[in-house]
Structure 1
Amino acid sequence: MAASADNSAATAAAAGPAGSTLPAELKAQFDEQIKLTAIRIPKQNTSQYMKLLSKHLFNKPRLRNVMEDPSDPDLRLLLLEETLVEADLDSRQIEGAASAKTVAELVQADGLQVTTAHVDVDYSYWPAHVVLRRLLPEGLEVPSSFESVGHIAHLNLRTELLPYKHLIGKVILDKNPRLKSVVNKLASIENEFRVFPMELVAGQEGTETELRQHGARFRLDFRKVYWNSRLEGEHQRLVQLFRPGEAVLDAMAGIGPFAIPAARKGCLVYANDLNPASFEYLCTNIRINRLAGKVLPFNADGRDFMRQAAAGRLDVAGAAAVVPASAEGGKGRRGKQQQQPGQQQQRSQQQPAAAAAAAAPAQSPGAEQGAADAGPQQGPASGSCSGVFHHIVMNLPAAAVEFLDALRGSFCPELWQGQPLPLVHVYTFCKGEQELAGVRQRVEASLGGTLDVEPRQHVVRDVAPGKIMLCITFRLPPSIAFAEANKRQKLEQ
């Protein structure tokens, strides 16, 4: 039964900002007795019937699914799952019984009896949505989901739920023991670093956390960097397109959700992010995943980074020096040998030989299925500069398409001679069918030229009603990549 409007304010006050769990007086409201369908069985055959009916039993943590029969000490009551009533037993299949295929047939064949039983339950039994439905005022929509980031639960509460934010946070912590903190988003992302203001509504202070995706470790401070756990499937999908030995240019890399898995797969990754905090955690994640020399970190403007890479002028010696191999596997929270963003250029000449080796990836077996063959990978343009690359990843959906102008005329003809130009994977948002139909025109307008073939469009996820996130993939045309060189050649003629 939902909390009345009269006591909802008292309920919210009782939940208070202090502590990480609901107070005892609120939990006591959930002490109840529930009625379950049960099967009366001989005591000596309890194990046999529990095995046969295991899929249909009342299987809940800390609660038993067999109890004594109060009418006969030689019998036991086998409790069935909450949703089952006697009429449903004809449709419930069982395996391993010689004389029956359904629960109802087993009951009849063995001369058993269907009855009911009453079980005492408390607050720990009820799932979060049931608890909140009872405690929140009638008519309010119960939060149905949240994002988990390591030990942090991330909420985006509607305005009408804000008076009950501490209550909601504490219920989430109670029902998810591995979580330690609950934060609520206060405003949308409106800055170049893709971070948003948040407040702690329950649990421990501190937003630095660690999580795993596809076998890789990621450390981050959720308050300082961008992270979206809902993109885990997209990270995996895109990395699957990369081949071992290919080089990947990750222009808006964040803390490395594409870069780290790609390097673990055998790619060389040039990873860049403008946010100093993201750069710091990118370096940390390179170190704790033992990928020094396989992910080369940069802290630069995305346009400048792509232009320098296209021209073969990335300072890979300086990038390799930021996370030297000797720093891998350190136990410190940041790693004492890791440098701050402003120190990257100071050590750019310290390890030229190591950097040159790191920047020369193996021969590529080709681009992903359906794309043109990628051909062999060329090594660095010089002992301390970058070489060619097979993929460009631009994961900044709000603005990445606008950054495509950095690719026009930026490619060095001598460096790229005889080499396939990279596949570009650019993320964007679209609202409505009209914007979706105009994606190619937006891409071409930013590139300042026409694509040779229709770009591939992959719908990543629904962001909001009528708004989707897309990944647009296309091969960069020579007419765009070498636009300035072509212009100069025409003028000379």
Structure 2
Amino acid sequence: MSRYFLPPVNRAMTTLDRSFFQKTVKITAAHVFDPKNVGRVQKECVEDIFKGSRSVKSVVSEVDSNGKRRMLVRLKPDVKHTDLSTVGESTRNLVKGQILELIPHDLHLKYENWGYNEIAEAILPEELVNDCPSSSTRVAHIVQLNLQNKFLPYKHMLGAIILDKNPEVRTVVNKIEAVGTWSEFRTFPMELLAGSPDTQVVVNEWNCEFHFDFAKVYWNSRLANEHQRIVRMFEPGEAVADVMAGVGPFAIPAAKNRVLVWANDFNPDAFESLQKNIMINKVHGVVQPFKLEASEFIRTSVRNLYRLSRSPSAIRNPIKVYSHQYSEGVQEILRRAGKTEEEINPPPVYLRIPPFFSHFVMNNPATAASSLEGFIGAYNGLENQFFDAENLPKREFPLVHLYIFQKAGPMQYTKRHICREISRGLGYKVRPEDLEHLELVKMVGPEKGYYCASFRLPAEVMFADVPPPREEKEDLNVRHWLKWSEYDDIPPQ
């Protein structure tokens, strides 16, 4: 914003005083004699016109000193009403043609005319202005900040400004501690800065509706594209195990794509929301919810799915999946467009339960690698389902999508570190070339990345007879099941 239009400054303010923010700026306006010519003036004098904003318009109507209403087009602050040399040729020609005249104009600005950044920078100490906190996370009606300590004395004023400048926001909170340090469920304590204490939200993502309490479960709206990227890998008719499902951002969109999903979360609040979202999105029967510790869920779900797929009841009664149901109004529009009744209300599709999961999604970057132990021996005794009599593969091994934090650096360096963590979890050496894909989902710090590593389960892990012995090492909080001589040249994280 031009310096002419910045709000007044009060760096001693401790409680937000909205009435303080008032200012009158003397500028020049073009008085258009005939309102019908306003459009012409806007078009021909574009280089001289004040570039208005949502709250400060370029064209205004006002009553003059004689009580007559007139149309004004506000001009840039460097235009002088007494000096035609300060405007362009087009404006000069319109003045000479008596289409308009240049007159002095008082532009009155108040709190409502300035945005969050302008107000915040006017109240913060000068040494903090350049670092004015402007990034935040938006979840439905909640804005969540992550304020540095130096901004905490001004937190309530900043929260109030955000609330004022975003009509759709009703709650502003500040994250007090880092994600995962306070709870094993990746929730975090927060304080209310402004607005209502209501943290119950409804989020729409990829034609799915999610209901949950933002204070009790983990949700990140910036992961919408990542959710869709993974879901697009699933084929209709496949079975997917969502090991740390949360409120269902992977599971429910997948189910709507006719994928059978077993979704698990150990957080009782997330599990409750998951159950609710399954019903709201009408994917019950396609998504089965569980509340187990992650590695236990992996071990039990593999066997249970296989047994279920072979049961006479499941064979006789495949899962009925209905397509999206249009509202009556939309149905009528489609009929008028020539769509058939079968296109408007297609018959249900019947899914048979696959014997094995094609994908495992493990989206808890803090604990997913250690939960890989659940795969050790999980398929023991089922070798004949994956190999024929000549010991040749007859079906693909499951693909695991594991989320993990790792120091960002050269990709080969990062791959080796991630493979080390995967290997510790599986008790089996996984090499960089074993990764089918490694995606940097986002940066969560200056040097810390949030990655998704996709790899096939090794046969040596799946069909292992007995999990290898493990030795806990508390200072690293990892499980050492192998000797790591090949990784000795990698500096510790």
**How far off is 1:391 after superposition?**
1.1
Aligned to 1:344: none
Aligned to 1:250: 242
2:398 maps to which of 422, 428, 431: 422
**How far off is 1:395 after superposition?**
0.3
Write the deviation string for residues 191-222 of structure 1: whole angstroms up to 9, x where unpaired. 22111111112111221111111221111111
Write the deviation string for residues 158-208 of structure 1: whole angstroms up to 9, x where unpaired. 112222221111111101111111111111222221111111121112211
Q: Distance in 2 between matches of 1:42 and 1:355?
A: 82
2:59 maps to which of 40, 53, 66: 66
Residue 473 in structure 1 maps to residue 463 in structure 2:
no
Report matched runs for 1:91-102 at 5 Å.
none
Secondary structure of 2:127's counterpart equals: coil
Report matched runs for 1:197-346 at 5 Å.
197-313=189-305
* Change in CA separation of 1:483 and 1:3 when aligned onto 2, cut-off 3 Å: same
Q: Distance in 2 between matches of 1:163 and 1:289?
A: 43
Residue 178 in structure 1 maps to residue 203 in structure 2:
no
**How far off is 1:229 after superposition?**
1.4
Q: Distance in 2 between matches of 1:59 and 1:355?
A: 67
Write the deviation string for residues 401-451 of structure 1: whole angstroms up to 9, x where unpaired. 222222122123355453321211100111243555422232233222244
Write the deviation string for residues 380-402 of structure 1: whole angstroms up to 9, x where unpaired. 4xxxxx73121111001112122
Aligned to 1:133: 121
Query: Retained in 2: the 8 A contact 1:57–1:79?
Result: yes
Q: Distance in 1 between matches of 2:101 and 2:132?
A: 36
Aligned to 1:195: 187
* Change in CA separation of 1:220 and 1:106 when aligned onto 2, cut-off 3 Å: farther
For structure 1, the 5+ residue unaligned runs are 16-25, 87-102, 318-348, 362-376, 381-385, 488-493
Q: Distance in 1 between matches of 2:70 and 2:290?
A: 71
Higher relative contact order (CA 8 A, sep 6+): 1
Residue 154 in structure 1 maps to residue 144 in structure 2:
yes
1:405 maps to which of 360, 367, 373: 373
2:421 maps to which of 426, 438, 442: 442
The alignment-based identity, stated in percent, is: 35
**How far off is 1:242 after superposition?**
2.1
* Change in CA separation of 1:136 and 1:110 when aligned onto 2, cut-off 3 Å: same
**How far off is 1:38 after superposition?**
5.5
Q: Distance in 2 between matches of 1:314 and 1:219?
A: 32
RMSD: 3.8
Of 443-452 and 470-479, more deviation after overlay is shown by 443-452
Aligned to 1:345: none
Of 407-416 and 227-236, more deviation after overlay is shown by 407-416
Aligned to 1:166: 156
2:73 maps to which of 78, 90, 94: 78
**How far off is 1:459 after superposition?**
0.6
Q: Distance in 1 between matches of 2:307 and 2:266?
A: 16
Q: Distance in 2 between matches of 1:355 and 1:285?
A: 28
Write the deviation string for residues 109-143 of structure 1: whole angstroms up to 9, x where unpaired. 76788967542121111010111111222222321
- Whichever residue aligns with residue 28 of structure 1, its letter is S
Q: Distance in 2 between matches of 1:53 and 1:308?
A: 73
- Whichever residue aligns with residue 422 of structure 1, its letter is P
Q: Distance in 2 between matches of 1:476 and 1:287?
A: 32
* Change in CA separation of 1:110 and 1:355 when aligned onto 2, cut-off 3 Å: farther
Structure with higher Rg: it is 2
Q: Distance in 2 between matches of 1:171 and 1:147?
A: 16
Query: Retained in 2: the 8 A contact 1:259–1:269?
Result: yes
Query: Retained in 1: the 8 A contact 2:159–2:193?
Result: yes
Q: Normalising by the residue count of structure 2, what TM-score does the alignment of the two structures yield?
A: 0.71
Q: Normalising by the residue count of structure 1, what TM-score does the alignment of the two structures yield?
A: 0.71
Secondary structure of 1:255's counterpart equals: coil
Aligned to 2:336: none
For structure 2, the 5+ residue unaligned runs are 1-6, 80-86, 323-349, 388-393, 469-493
Q: Distance in 1 between matches of 2:101 and 2:360?
A: 64
